[in-house]
Structure 1
Amino acid sequence: MIPDMWSMKARMNNQMLVVVCKDLLALISRITNKFPKVGSGDYSYDPEGCIMTYKHWKEQSDIIIVVNHYDPPGIYISNISSSDRTPLRFTVAMEDVELTVPLELGYDVTTSTLYWSDYTKNTIERYSFDTNQHEVFLSKKINQVNGLAVDGPGKKLYWTNAASIFQNRNQNRIEVINLDGTDRKILIDTGLSVPSAIEIDTTNGYLYWTDVVLDKIERVKLNDLSTRTALVTTGLNFPSGLVLAVPHGKMYWCDWNNKVIEEANLDGSNRRTILTGHVTYDIDIYRNYLYWTGVKGVYRVDRKTGKSSKQSSDSRLNDPKGLYIFKK
């Protein structure tokens, strides 16, 4: 017997909210092993059994945002749960925004604004989910931006700027700017080769970054740049991703060439390998899990047990790079 079902469409802030009865969704998924297309694109199944747009996910659940570098270029969004029974179901994060080769992500939780770098346009761009406004935030003296870190409460954006092999290596920099576009500054422009992932510890006032050619993880006190310290200098081979778990006093990184995910204290001590044998590019933390982008998908590993699994088989994630997880 077909279950009771209903649907409702309403236009809110120029977006179409599509709500589909969870019984219908569950029925179709059992028959086809897929979630249906609704409206103008794929929508994701939220914990309450409805498929919704970004604004409504944000109100009800945690979300994950992933960049696909090219073929096709895209930025995708899904709700996220620690349950094994809730796989990631991605939809396009932004309609009518032209992307060429997006690479890295940053997110301002205070204004629901997504930042990303574009590899070929040499830009940092942003999109407000609250107002549906897109703009090129920075385009001057931008090279390859391998990492973005947004301090929403402090209203600042930090990024790593790497020169190409055809450019002056002095263009390797770590920079900061206010989120209103004022007071752009170079924080560090020496002792860098290809600065990559970047993370900010707002609690203790530190900025962390990796260098994928010098194979280092370093940090500096933002109010005293003379405190620059190399935390991890051995056993690295292209440390492309980094995430901090400040309340637990830990940092995690993924190493592209070594195919590992590792853990250490925030000062670099007590280093431990969590996962081996997987190509990893970027990494973020969610509850007891580390999520990473790898070969044609998004994966996760339990930080304590090392048990890993693939979380998405979306064919659009042909070359996933940056990811960000928003936790309510």
Structure 2
Amino acid sequence: MDLDRNIGKNRGKRIRIETSYFWKDSYLRCVDVDECKVFSPCSQGCDNFPGTFRCYCARGYYLRPDNYSCKAHDPLPSIVFANRLDIRQISVDGHEYSAIMEDLQNAISLDFHYYRDLIFWSDVSLDVIMRAFLNGTEVTGIVRWGLRKPGGVAVDWINDHVYWMDGITKRIEVAELDGSNRHPIVWSGLQKPRALVLYPQKDLMVWTDWGENATIESAFLDGSGRRVIVREGLQWPNGITMDYPTETIYWVDARQHKIEAALLDGSNRKTILERSLPHPFAITVFEDNLYWTDWRTRSIHMANKRTGRDHTTIHQSLAFPMDIRRWVFEREYRFPLVLKWHGS
């Protein structure tokens, strides 16, 4: 851009400043703009350099020819979602659609273990945590007692644990993948716990609670180190997901009809979309897009994760769309991590 500056000996001279710099009046010089922070141009990682920037991708992804966005090495991945009476999968482009589990009672929340080929879900009619192989075999209830309204199922694919929340007992619990060694890790201060997402590489879990004082909270995987990361401006925070390459959480608020995002500590909060969201319930993210279920439209929707643009319905006329997850192996890259129990 061209700027005129009438200061001292430069009076009347035209000084040219490149768009990657800004004018610093006090010193009559151009200062580099950090495009990574100011414009967030990249899909995943961003390195700033004097006068320019460079995008890069996390392991399991490669940079597209546009030099901004990242694509997974995995073949076309699937979105897996609970539909109360069944669990189905759909390709991210909406073209392939099939059932994984059928003749269920009331499947609400789900998650998977990619390398073990396992899927887990909560059933609020039977009050059980269920498990099966993805081919539909060996369906079993791994937790059958002491549950009142199980939801918020999440899998720790590094330490081989399954977590869940209960809206009546108001607890977060954990067990081995077969349901053994079960114990509560958060049992106080919960009002209406709704959704849970794990980040095993960082020994972290994040959850939504849409009680009277709605919050988004985080803690270590053993329940210690608990803290509120988002407190203001929440009403019905429903589903939550995590974009691991950018360490960004996204959540839907059903009462405010919008999708928001923030970093893991709650900073850099921003609204992604606040139109055409009658009753969003659950949300997931893959590459550059968000995918979510909506109770009122009975559909699965998609939009750009950074701008909210290109809002599209990828499947509609569903019975009871509930939880939704992306089925992709990149999530489960294993990093050296030993789970440390921070509490006593």
- Normalising by the residue count of structure 2, what TM-score does the alignment of the two structures yield? 0.69
Deviations along 1:43-71, one digit per CA (max 9) or x if unpaired, are: xxxxxxxxxxxxxxxx95311111113xx
d(CA) in 2 for partners of 1:130 and 1:319? 22
d(CA) in 2 for partners of 1:224 and 1:267? 16
Structure 2 vs 1, CA of residues 310 and 215 (structure 1 numbering), >3 Å: closer, same or farther? same
Give the secondary structure class of the aligned counterpart of 2:315: coil
Deviations along 1:181-229, one digit per CA (max 9) or x if unpaired, are: 221110011000111111111121111111011310000123571x210
Determine the structure 1 residue equivalent to 2:289.
289
2:122 equivalent among 111, 117, 122 = 117
**C-alpha deviation, 1:121, in angstroms:** 0.8
Determine the structure 1 residue equivalent to 2:36.
none
Structure 2 vs 1, CA of residues 292 and 200 (structure 1 numbering), >3 Å: closer, same or farther? same
Determine the structure 2 residue equivalent to 1:87.
94
Determine the structure 1 residue equivalent to 2:5.
none
Determine the structure 2 residue equivalent to 1:301.
303
Determine the structure 2 residue equivalent to 1:149.
154
Determine the structure 2 residue equivalent to 1:76.
88
- Work out the percentage of aligned pairs sharing the same amino acid: 27
Where in structure 2 are there 5+ consecutive unaligned residues? 1-73, 330-344
Structure 2 residue identity aligned to 1:118 = D
d(CA) in 2 for partners of 1:90 and 1:66? 11
Give the conservation status (yes or no) of the 8 Å contact 1:102–1:119: yes
Matches within 5 A, 1:186-225: 186-213=184-211, 214-222=213-221, 225=224
d(CA) in 2 for partners of 1:131 and 1:242? 27
d(CA) in 1 for partners of 2:193 and 2:99? 29
Give the conservation status (yes or no) of the 8 Å contact 1:145–1:196: no
* Equivalences, count: 250
d(CA) in 2 for partners of 1:254 and 1:119? 22
Structure 2 vs 1, CA of residues 89 and 183 (structure 1 numbering), >3 Å: closer, same or farther? same
Structure 1 residue identity aligned to 2:303 = V
**C-alpha deviation, 1:260, in angstroms:** 0.5
Give the secondary structure class of the aligned counterpart of 2:280: coil
Give the secondary structure class of the aligned counterpart of 1:282: strand
- Is the radius of gyration larger for structure 1 or structure 2? 2
Give the secondary structure class of the aligned counterpart of 1:133: coil
Deviations along 1:150-187, one digit per CA (max 9) or x if unpaired, are: 01221100111110xxxxxxx21000001132211100
**C-alpha deviation, 1:130, in angstroms:** 5.2
**C-alpha deviation, 1:309, in angstroms:** 1.0
Structure 2 vs 1, CA of residues 203 and 120 (structure 1 numbering), >3 Å: closer, same or farther? same
Structure 2 vs 1, CA of residues 224 and 286 (structure 1 numbering), >3 Å: closer, same or farther? closer
1:65 equivalent among 75, 80, 96 = 80
Deviations along 1:289-323, one digit per CA (max 9) or x if unpaired, are: 0100012110011012211111112x3x1321111
**C-alpha deviation, 1:103, in angstroms:** 0.5
d(CA) in 2 for partners of 1:158 and 1:211? 16
Give the conservation status (yes or no) of the 8 Å contact 1:110–1:153: no
Deviations along 1:231-254, one digit per CA (max 9) or x if unpaired, are: 101111111111112321211111
d(CA) in 1 for partners of 2:307 and 2:230? 23
Give the conservation status (yes or no) of the 8 Å contact 2:89–2:97: yes
d(CA) in 2 for partners of 1:206 and 1:253? 17
Q: Are 1:249 and 2:227 an aligned pair?
A: no
d(CA) in 2 for partners of 1:256 and 1:234? 15
Give the conservation status (yes or no) of the 8 Å contact 1:293–1:320: yes
After TM superposition, what 4+ stretches of structure 1 lie above 4 angstroms from structure 2? Answer: none
Give the secondary structure class of the aligned counterpart of 1:197: strand
Where in structure 1 are there 5+ consecutive unaligned residues? 1-58, 81-85, 164-170
Give the conservation status (yes or no) of the 8 Å contact 1:232–1:268: yes
Structure 2 residue identity aligned to 1:219 = S
Determine the structure 1 residue equivalent to 2:338.
none
Structure 2 vs 1, CA of residues 184 and 318 (structure 1 numbering), >3 Å: closer, same or farther? same
Give the secondary structure class of the aligned counterpart of 1:267: coil
Structure 2 vs 1, CA of residues 196 and 311 (structure 1 numbering), >3 Å: closer, same or farther? same
d(CA) in 1 for partners of 2:155 and 2:95? 24
Matches within 5 A, 1:1-328: 60-69=75-84, 73-80=85-92, 86-94=93-101, 97-129=102-134, 132-163=137-168, 171-213=169-211, 214-222=213-221, 225=224, 227-277=225-275, 278=277, 279-294=279-294, 295-307=297-309, 308-313=311-316, 315=317, 317-328=318-329
Structure 2 vs 1, CA of residues 60 and 287 (structure 1 numbering), >3 Å: closer, same or farther? closer
Structure 2 vs 1, CA of residues 104 and 223 (structure 1 numbering), >3 Å: closer, same or farther? closer
d(CA) in 2 for partners of 1:158 and 1:327? 20
